[in-house]
A = this chain, B = another copy of it.
Amino acid sequence: MAYTAEIIGVGTELLLGNIANTDAQDVSRALSEIGVNVYFHTVVGDNPERLKQAVAIARARADIIITTGGLGPTCDDLTKQTLAEAFGKKLIFNEDEAEQIRAFFKTRLHNMELTENNYQQAYLPEDCTIFHNGCGTAPGCAFESGGTHVLMLPGPPRECRAMLESCALPYLKKLSDAEIHSHNIHIFGLGESAVEARLRDMMLALENPTLAPYAKDSEVLLRVTARARSKEEAESMMAPVLEKVRAVLGDIIYGIDTETLENTAVGLLKEKNKTLSCAESCTGGLLAKRLTDIPGASRVFPGSITTYATETKTAILGVDAGLIREKGVASREVAEQMALQVREKFGSDLGVGITGIAGPDSDDSGLAPGTVFVALATPDGLWCRSLALPFDRARVRTAASSHALDMIRRHLTGLPVE
Contacts and interface: CB of A to CB of B under 8 A. Distances in A.
A17 B28 contact: yes
Nearest to A311: B302
Contacts of A387: 109-110
A108 to B, nearest CB: 6
A17 B43 contact: no
Contact of A292 (B42, B190, B306, B386): B306
A365 to B, nearest CB: 14
Interface of A: 9, 12-22, 24-32, 38-45, 47, 50, 53-54, 57, 61, 72-76, 103-113, 115-118, 134-135, 156, 189-194, 196-197, 200, 203-204, 212-215, 223, 225, 252, 280, 282-289, 291-293, 295, 297-298, 301-312, 315-316, 345-347, 358-361, 368, 370, 385-395, 397, 403
27 contacts: A13-B212, A14-B25, A15-B38, A16-B38, A17-B26, A17-B28, A21-B41, A40-B44, A57-B57, A73-B193, A74-B193, A74-B213, A75-B204, A107-B390, A108-B388, A109-B386, A110-B385, A111-B189, A111-B252, A112-B190, A117-B200, A284-B301, A292-B358, A293-B394, A302-B308, A303-B308, A304-B305
A291 B295 contact: no
Contact of A32 (B17, B19, B43, B312): B17
Contact of A308 (B19, B31, B292): B292
B40 A16 contact: no
A299 B292 CA distance: 27
Of A193, A204, A395, most buried by chain B (CB within 10 Å of CB) is A193
Nearest to A210: B12
B21 A17 contact: no
B312 A193 contact: no
Contacts of A47: 39
B42 A15 contact: no
A115 B40 contact: no
